[in-house]
Chain A
Amino acid sequence: MRSSAQTMTPQASWFSEKILMGLTPRAYVRSLFTPFDLIAGLILAVGIPVIIYRFAFGLGAATNLTQETPWGIWIGFDMLCGVALAAGGFSIASTVYIFGLKDFHPIVRPAVLTAFLGYLFAVLGLMCDLGRPWNLPIPMIYSFGTTSVMFEVGWCVMLYTTVLALEFSPALFEWLGIGEGIRRLIVKATIGLTVAAVLLSTLHQSSLGALFLMAPTKIHPLWYSPFIPAYFFISAIGAGLSMVIVESSLSHRAFQGRADHEVNLDRVAIGLARAAAVVLFAYFFLKLQGVADGGHWALLATPMGYWFLFEVLGFVLVPSLLFAHGARTRNTRLIKWTAAWTVLGAVVNRLNVSVIAFNWNIEHHYVPSWMEVVTTLTLVTTGVLCFRWTVNRMPILRELPQYRDEH
């Protein structure tokens, strides 16, 4: 008994230090009684049974999806928005490791973590959406459909999620204090991983748009364009950069005790705003090219046209000008609000293409069921909780002193 007690003590202290952040179990549980945790707990309490119900009784019972509208918000929001907003991961990593702009180094890890969780929960959303997710290995491994865009998207997302897991893993090893050899190997492979990230992201961000090339008659002409793969890729960069501004601003505020105070976030935000302004400015003119190419000018004077104008003016041109003004006047408050608005714009764009302007002219237009909404809310909440759990423990917003010089 005595020896077993001795062996238990170090384990308990490791658990207390690493998992409970040095608190006693009672104090840790007490620390979870915050308004945010209670709301999150409520969402999970409703959402987890709903997800179980969806897998027990099938898509027909849980969703409003039909043969006519097979893709709902699990694809339109969880997958398309999750992947687009996660584009900050490869954008920031390539800025720092390929273009050598070291000023942005402090936000690489939070951006990569956001991207990793974004992809992970996009894939989980996809699992909910697939009728028989257990058959996924068949098209992925046993029976390659090399002529299908979806095959390319599937493989790319799988590979990129793996790359993100590897890019994130040094923080995990540093936190656990193990696997120093593997950690060094991965750190040495950083540039290779970043190149792979850019390559894979370019492929699947655009391919997610290319999926909609199959439905020229189903998507409203103002949103359908042969340029849609380019639209998806470019807008993902603007959305990803904006997401990084929002995420870094919120997380440095929420996790003050876990963040390096030497980081000049304002300077980082101004740099990101400059990049986002240029990307959105170019994207606005490319959207105009789409209208010109299709010859759809007359459609702008219809109700759907007004909605299209609201999207491209309100969520693309105006944020571009506001980012430029914010960067010029060093107004970081304006930059942060503009970034939040642009993130909302990216969500609106993806939902427009996949839900609102998709089958816009059918009699019974798709509206998500409450269970679809709750499932999406549950996945987003779980993603936020995972982000918080990780940042509270691992060196994400700060660098451990022993690794400070090597990144």
Chain B
Amino acid sequence: MIPHDILTLYDAKAFEYVIALLFLALFIPFWQYLSGEARPALQPAVQAARRKPARPLTELVEWFRMAPDAFYHPGHAWARAATDGRVALGVDDFAQKLVGRLKAVELPAVGTRLSLGEPAWRLRVDGKAVEMLSPVDGVVTDVNPMVVASPALANADPYGEGWLVKVDAPRFPAHRRTLLSGRLARSWIEDATNALRLRMSPEVGLALQDGGMPVDGIAHALDPDRWDVIASEFLLTQGNETPATGERR
């Protein structure tokens, strides 16, 4: 028996036991940290609403928010050059307030060619759908999966996280001159708001008297049965409104 060898052996064993105990002791806080969450899980729409906006704040024109850096089509779709060279498209605040809380958004598939002024996507609310027109010519390269999963995101943050599709639109720099922006866009929204005022029923008029904002789903508040016809009138797709049958994505 050589004491030195035994001691050497016990040295190694002691280290191994210490490492094993250290692992077990550290694994508990590690597991707690790993399986916890930094903050309670939020719905995507709430998350988007709380997230710090990445672009200039929207401004209020009459009752509706407008993004100063977006280009608007008279059918209430907007287009904005994204940082990756493509063009992001979405619905403006007027359109989302007009149709109300979205149940589904039927987006064109990736690869679909969109044409300026032609139907591009459908907003589905309460079993009816209204179409919207494309503000640009281009090929869809990406659809927003967050909006597909949680359509109300387009209501909560229409100019930010609620974008609908991205398109490859090489002619956008030329086409955007035909779209509305800046002072022209503000004046157009003022006109649209006035047109809406003329259609207001006494129920929605309460909001006016209070000096507040109109309720979401203005078209529905105007006429619960024919809200899709009213919405289509403002979105310039009159005659294209369809009942809820089947999915198009």
A binding-site residues for B, Cβ under 8 Å: 256-257, 261-264, 274, 277-278, 281-282, 285, 288-289, 292-293, 295, 324-325, 327-330
Contact = CB atoms under 8 A, between A and B. Distances in A.
A261 B8 CA distance: 60
A328 B32 CA distance: 10
B210 interface: no
B167 to A, nearest CB: 12
Nearest to B18: A292
Which 9 interchain pairs have the tightest Cβ spacing?
A292-B15, A285-B23, A324-B34, A257-B110, A329-B38, A288-B19, A261-B145, A292-B16, A257-B111
Given A262-B148, A264-B145, A285-B23, A278 B11 contact: no
Given A257-B110, A257-B111, 15 more contacts: A261-B110, A261-B145, A261-B148, A263-B145, A281-B30, A285-B19, A285-B22, A285-B23, A289-B20, A292-B15, A292-B19, A293-B16, A295-B12, A325-B33, A327-B34
18 contacts: A256-B110, A261-B110, A261-B143, A261-B145, A262-B145, A264-B145, A264-B149, A277-B30, A281-B30, A282-B27, A285-B20, A285-B23, A288-B19, A289-B19, A324-B30, A327-B34, A328-B38, A329-B38
B23 A282 contact: yes
A10 to B, nearest CB: 25
B141 A256 contact: yes
A325 B33 CA distance: 8
Nearest to A324: B34
Contacts of A295: 8, 11-12
A328 B35 CA distance: 7
Nearest to A252: B145
B56 interface: no
B142 interface: yes
Contact of B34 (A256, A274, A330): A274
B225 interface: no
Contacts of B12: 292-293, 295
A256 B38 CA distance: 31
Interface in B24-38: 27, 30-31, 33-38
Nearest to A327: B34
A274 B19 contact: no
Contacts of B22: 285
Interface string B75-117: 0000000000000000000000000000000000011000000
Contacts of B16: 289, 292-293
A222 to B, nearest CB: 15
Nearest to A326: B34
A308 B38 CA distance: 33
Contacts of A264: 145, 149
A328 B33 contact: yes
A327 B16 CA distance: 30
A329 B37 CA distance: 6
A238 to B, nearest CB: 14
A277 B31 CA distance: 9
A328 B111 CA distance: 36
A256 B37 CA distance: 30
A324 to B, nearest CB: 4
